[in-house]
Amino acid sequence: MAMMQRTIKKPISISGIGLHTGNECAITFKPAPINHGILFVREDLDNHPEIPANIDYVTDITRGTTLAKDGVEIHTVEHILAAIAGLQIDNLIVLLNSNEAPVLDGSSKPFVDVLLEAEIAEQDSPKEYLLIDKPIVYSEKERGVDVVVVPSDEFRITFLVDYRSPTLGTQYTSLVDLDKEFVEEFAPARTFCFLNEVEELREKGLIKGGSLNNAIIVCDDPQKADIEKLKRLFDVNSDVYIGKSGIINDVPLRFPNELVRHKVVDLIGDLALIGVPLKAHVLAARSGHAANVQLAKILKKEYEKKRITSRYQVAPIRGKYILDIEAIMKFLPHRYPFLLVDRVLDMTAGERIRTLKNVTINEHFFQGHFPGRPVMPGVLIIEAMGQAGALLLLNMYEHPENHLAYFTGLESIKFRRTVVPGDTLICELEMTRFRRNTCRFEGKAYVDGQVAAEAVLKAVVVDKNKNK
């Protein structure tokens, strides 16, 4: 049975202080229509600028996730996004009257509670998922971060942290069912940091809204702890002490492994920036916001490839490619005898493309180039590269079939080897600039792993209908 998209039934609000800025912020969650997605709105600014909850708008991951667009910022959105994604809400408008979401008790639970109070509403359209069909790996060796995403029928997370700390040690947890576990077992887990981090961040002018009540503060070395300095930094007059647990004031934990559970919450919030729910098992070791965001970028690109395939590819894919010739002809106006791309092997939207052209003796140009010594004309190798670039460029438009790509310049053309019947021509192009419908590519064409030709190509996109 298909899962349907979700929103909420009525607007609802919550307010508090931002963790880093210390600014008061009121948030109002409002229902949104089908396929709207999650949208943040700064209603305190002129024209109410909007920022989609999308990984493309992440600008900072210093102790949280910041979104920005056209100079407008919203800080520390991960707990809100975790609540939304944990409740499997697809469409929502989030109004803020300041530049940072409130920290509240340091968990996602207050946001979960108000969204549940607004009541979840199913919408008359099925959800779209990102289905992972091959393992995806991200690692940072210098920081000991490893994340593997593997195929799964449901969204699952297994998380391990090892702080090499006598206080925290190694913590592990696993989420296997969002419906049954997120609200009670993960959303209440609070944010945390080490005492030395608190002092450093406070001295840098951050965590202005931080207090001993909205985060778990861990002291890893009681001998070096300066409690009086901590009290001055937070303007605290009451007693402050290092508990037997190593936690300031012996704050009771909500779970024995609360810290790693909060890491799962942060990961859920950051992965929500892909823009579509994920069906996969994420296995993470020592991951934080920086790694989460990089993983989300990788997964977003995987989603864009699959969306291209599902939108244009009709026949089942039988190999390692994303578009066949029938799908290619939906993008390109070229036809026999001038269509020089047989398959798109790989494509990352707005970045690069890899295409294939099978060169056979039946090509019309071999009749005259050259009789008895068939060689593919160099200009047609460049044309094959150009058509590959046009595919990449046109994919950036909502309706590529309504546009044409005209090449306006060629530079640094070099031919390295001949291309003959029986060769498979692989064209690889990278988009190095895109501005106002014009772009620049750096391309190479290969045969058997050897460069056959290379060039820099420039192109412009025009509306097909305006040129009739």
Q: Residue 326: which H helix or E strand, with range?
A: helix 325-331
Other CB atoms within 10 A of residue 418 CB: 14
Determine the distance from the C-alpha atom of residue 200 to the mean position of all C-alpha atoms in its chain, rounded to a whole number.
29
The DSSP H or E segment spanning 294 is helix 289-312
Token pair listed for 130: 């990102």
Which residue, among 392, 388, 397, has the nearest Cα to 433 in the 3D structure? 392
* Residue position matching structure tokens 């003796």: 361
Give the DSSP H or E segment for 59.
Answer: strand 58-60
Cα 315 to the chain's mean position, in Å? 28
Tokens 């579509």 locate to 276
Distance CA 75, CA 59 (A): 10
Whether a cis peptide bond, with omega within 30° of 0, leads into 407 is no
Alpha-helix runs per DSSP H in 87-158: 109-118
Task: Tell me the C-alpha distance between 418 and 448, whole Å.
Answer: 12
Angle between helices 289-312 and 258-271 (to 10 degrees): 40
Tokens of 424: 């498979």
Catalytic sites, residue numbers: 289, 369
Nearest residue to 183 (alpha-carbon basis) of 231, 235, 92, 112: 112
Closest to 50 in 3D by CA, of 106, 116, 95: 95
Rounded to an integer, what distance in angstroms lies between the CA atom of residue 433 and that of residue 103? 39
